[in-house]
């Protein structure tokens, strides 16, 4: 039972990641692409979580945390780039 449910969920999450990828490629504005990239990261976290349920292990929990941190910092850097044009500013008054 659990095997069937997790397999169906994995297929649906891969379709979701593919749809987000289409939005990244053809998104009309820059903000659409950034939100789609962030959603791909969150989908990856759920994907690995379901993989941990299937394999009955906790070995991938560090992977989930690392992906979450990298996606967070990437989103902040993109947001600052859209807002002001520079990511690392030298001297802010």
Partner 1 sequence: MKTNYLMLHTITRVVSFIILSFSIFLFFAGHNNPGGGFIGGLMTASALLLLYVSFDIKKIRKVIPFNYPVIIAVGLLITIITGLNSLLFGDPFLTQYFEYYNVPILGEIELTTALPFDLGIYLVVVAIALLIILTIAEDDS
- Residue 70 interacting with partner 1 (CB under 8 A): yes
Binding mask 35-64 for partner 1 (x = CB under 8 A): ------------------------x--xx-
- H helix intervals, 1-93: 2-26, 30-55, 61-84
Q: Cα 58–52–16 angle (5° rounding)?
A: 140
Please choose, out of 2-10, 15-23, 34-42, 77-85, the segment that lies near partner 1 by the rule CB under 8 A. 77-85
Q: Residues 41, 67: contact at Cβ < 8 Å?
A: yes
The three-class DSSP label of residue 91 is coil
- Residue 77 interacting with partner 1 (CB under 8 A): yes
Size of the site for partner 1 (CB under 8 A): 21
The first and second tokens of residue 90, run together, are 């030298």
Binding mask 2-41 for partner 1 (x = CB under 8 A): ----------------------------------------
Please state, in angstroms and rounded to a whole number, the distance separating the CA atoms of residues 75 and 81. Answer: 10
Binding region for partner 1 (CB under 8 A): 59, 62-63, 65-66, 69-70, 72-73, 76-77, 80, 83-84, 86-92
């Amino acid at each position: 039972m659990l095997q069937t449910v997790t397999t169906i969920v994995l297929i649906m999450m891969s379709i979701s990641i593919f749809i987000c990828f289409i939005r990244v490629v053809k998104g009309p504005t820059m903000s659409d692409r950034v939100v789609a990239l962030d959603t791909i990261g969150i989908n990856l976290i759920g994907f690995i979580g379901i993989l941990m349920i299937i394999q009955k292990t906790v070995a991938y929990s560090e992977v989930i945390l690392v992906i979450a941190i990298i996606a967070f910092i990437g989103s902040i850097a993109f947001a600052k780039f859209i807002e002001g044009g520079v990511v690392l500013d030298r001297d802010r008054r």
